[in-house]
């Protein structure tokens, strides 16, 4: 069955770079898109960006200058890198299948930005 699982550091210092990995199973990255979506504690959802099945990417304009999404299809992994982290980037980070209608989600990984 389709599964996605996020991994990465739970704590990042301000101004540093966040690196997260989404490992998928039960689906091919060459025929499925994967999105990254985050949720600050107690708040709503923010779509960060998507890597399409053809490898193209689209990013939320609010964070585009800080964000990069890539993939390794041979390892079934999608990567998120975001630089210049601030405390307001503290959130649960989810990866999900789909670029417009995510139907399978990972459990999420909590990232805290703090010194």
Partner 1 sequence: DIQMTQSPSLLSASVGDRVTLSCKASQNIYKYLNWYQQKLGEAPKLLIYYTNSLQTGIPSRFSGSGSGTDYTLTISSLQPEDVATYFCQQYNSWNTFGAGTKLELK
**Residue number, 68 or 104, with CB nearest to partner 1:** 104
Q: Checking phi first, is residue 75 left (phi over 0); if not, alpha (psi -120 to 50) or beta? A: alpha
Main-chain dihedrals φ then ψ at residue 73, nearest 5 degrees: -65, -30
Token pair recorded at residue 11:
């704590």
Applying CB under 8 A, among 1, 65, 100, 115 the residue interacting with partner 1 is 100
Quick one: which segment of 12-20, 24-32, 73-81, 98-106 binds partner 1 (CB under 8 A)?
Answer: 98-106
60 touches partner 1 (CB under 8 A): yes
* Least distance between partner 1 and beta carbon 24 (Å): 14
- The answer to whether the beta carbons of residues 86 and 14 sit under 8 Å apart is yes
Q: Which residues bind partner 1 (CB under 8 A)?
A: 35, 44-47, 58, 60-61, 94, 96, 100-103, 105-108
């Amino acid at each position: 069955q389709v599964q996605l699982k996020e991994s990465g550091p739970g704590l990042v210092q301000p101004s540093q770079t966040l690196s997260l990995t989404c490992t998928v199973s039960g689906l091919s990255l060459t025929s499925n898109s994967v999105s990254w979506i985050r949720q600050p504690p107690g708040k709503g959802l923010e779509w960060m960006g998507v890597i399409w099945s053809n490898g193209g990417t689209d990013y939320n304009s609010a964070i585009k200058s800080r964000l990069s999404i890539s993939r390794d299809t041979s390892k079934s992994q999608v990567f998120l890198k975001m630089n210049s982290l601030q405390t307001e980037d503290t959130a649960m980070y989810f990866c999900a299948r789909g670029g417009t209608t995510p139907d399978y989600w990972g459990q999420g990984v909590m990232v805290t930005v703090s010194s």
